[in-house]
Amino acid sequence: MSRAISIVVQGRHEVTPDDVVSHLTEKKLEVVSFLYLEQLNLVDSFASQKFGDLQARLYAEFDRPKLIGFLKRNNNYNLEKAAQVCESLGYIPELVYILGKVGQNKRALKLVLEDLQDPDQAIEFAKQQNDQELWDDLLDYCLTRPLYLKTLLDKASGAVPPAQILARIPAKLAIPGLKDTLLRIFTDHEIVLALNQGILEIVNSEAQILASQLRAARSEGTILDFAKAGIDFSQTVVVLPDGSLQTEVDLIGETWAKDASTTTTVTRSVRQKVKHLAFIKRKLQLLLSQ
């Protein structure tokens, strides 16, 4: 059988998949259709795309363990039809997945809680959907089921603050193992808090070191050898990144207007020096852009 199917798949350009599937359907050889389409999908997924609805139904009928994988890997099937197939066969996990894809999250959650009675899967589903209303519905459902509440506290703390769950628990509701769960939650919280505090202290320490280094670097002067420079220091002199010296006129072809009226050394404030430096930078940028 497998050899015959392989031959038909390899000859798909001579005998088209449409003809093969139509013939097998007419002869009611659905199991052969399933095997043919499965192999066709492996060899030529493009050729099998149009048979997505049929494949979903055949997987549900002949190889359920592979159905959920098919549903997750492919988008070439009608979600509503696939949901109908899963619902008719009572395939709840697969139906939950499809309902989640079409946005029917509340119905999917209800199926997990009432049909599967699986709080772990319900929590995972709520995490995947990332929907606050879904968490509220899950919490409402768990409030009358102590064991579900304990599971919720154990496994949903990363998505829902434990305080939010605890605040909703009725005062006289007995929850088996609640003490141990709370101790673990508080211990985990203290560990996380301690880690964050330690990280913050390290960051602050490194920031202070870097800030000190930056201040020291900015406060350092530049050692100039006036004798070797051969420059008229009665003018404004610019120290270039490579350590060489040039007068302002040689560098940008003019002097700052504030200095143009004097040729003597003038004591200036830091603010004036900053403005002068900004002027030189602007002129350099203009020269470089030309």
- Note the pLDDT tens digit of each residue in 2-51: 788 888 889 888 999 999 999 999 988 999 999 999 999 999 988 999 99
pLDDT at site 177: 84
Nearest CA to 236 among 250, 222, 247? 247
**Chunked mean pLDDT (size 10), the chain, 290 residues:** 85 90 90 92 90 95 95 93 95 94 93 92 89 89 86 80 82 82 82 89 93 82 65 77 80 76 58 85 84
Six token digits for residue 26: 């007419």
127-160 CB burial, b ≥16 within 10 A, e <16: bebebeebbebbbebbbebbebbbbbbbebbeeb
pLDDT at site 107: 94
- Note the pLDDT tens digit of each residue in 191-225: 888 999 999 999 999 999 999 988 887 777 666 66
pLDDT at site 238: 81
d(CA 244, CA 99): 72
pLDDT at site 100: 92
